Chain A
Amino acid sequence: MDTQQLEKETLEKIDQIVKNNPVVIFMKGTPQMPSCGFSARAAQALIDTGENFGFVNVLADPAVFEFLPKYQDWPTFPQIYIDGELVGGCDITLELAESGELKKMMAEANAKHAQQDA
């Protein structure tokens, strides 16, 4: 497969993941075994809300690792998406957690998707 086609297919795959998951974090490692301090902190903030979320380990998928920065023109990992929108990286997620907004956003997104699936 040529690079252009790989990019197109990978961006489509990322888009599906973002749309199908009310809350998803693209991170280095897993929430249980993070391999980056920023990913670890962001994942912990999501865990601490008590709300459900999905994750993608970008170190386990070279194409996602390479092309995710192009998806929303955001150059760094981790990236956190809620209800299909890029929320930001670690620092933004922590600030939203601190203000209590993160739990609210996650709860609303989870409720909305549950309703759509019903």
Chain B
Amino acid sequence: MSLQAQLEQRLAEHLTPALLQVENESHQHSGPATESHFKVVIVSDQFDGLPLIKRHRAVHEALGDLMAQFHALALHTYTPLEWAQRTGAPPSPPCRGGSKRA
């Protein structure tokens, strides 16, 4: 199974998302890896009342050992209400080559 599929599976299992987008953005970045940079957008009512840092920690925990298998994670977490009030998640930044951490 691709890393992208594993990320999708873990997040779907742990966070009961109303919307889940896992995008492989590795092509935007330096280095030879084909699954190095991911962008995740999750809409879940589990995030209700949680500050952003706790939402991100919940995602880190759900991904567990998979966190060590890629270089970068752009993470956008919303409650269903917050998602309804915006137009999509922001774009990820361009790479600057500092891929010291594999």
Contacts and interface: CB of A to CB of B under 8 A. Distances in A.
Interface of A: 28-29, 34-41, 59, 65, 74-77, 86-92, 94-96
B9 interface: no
B97 interface: yes
15 contacts: A34-B98, A36-B97, A36-B98, A37-B92, A37-B95, A39-B96, A39-B98, A41-B93, A74-B60, A76-B73, A88-B53, A91-B56, A91-B76, A92-B52, A95-B52
Contacts of B52: 88, 91-92, 95-96
Contacts of A89: 56, 75
Interface of B: 52-53, 56-57, 60, 67-68, 72-76, 90, 92-101
A88 B98 contact: no
Nearest to B97: A35
B56 A88 contact: yes
A35 B93 contact: no
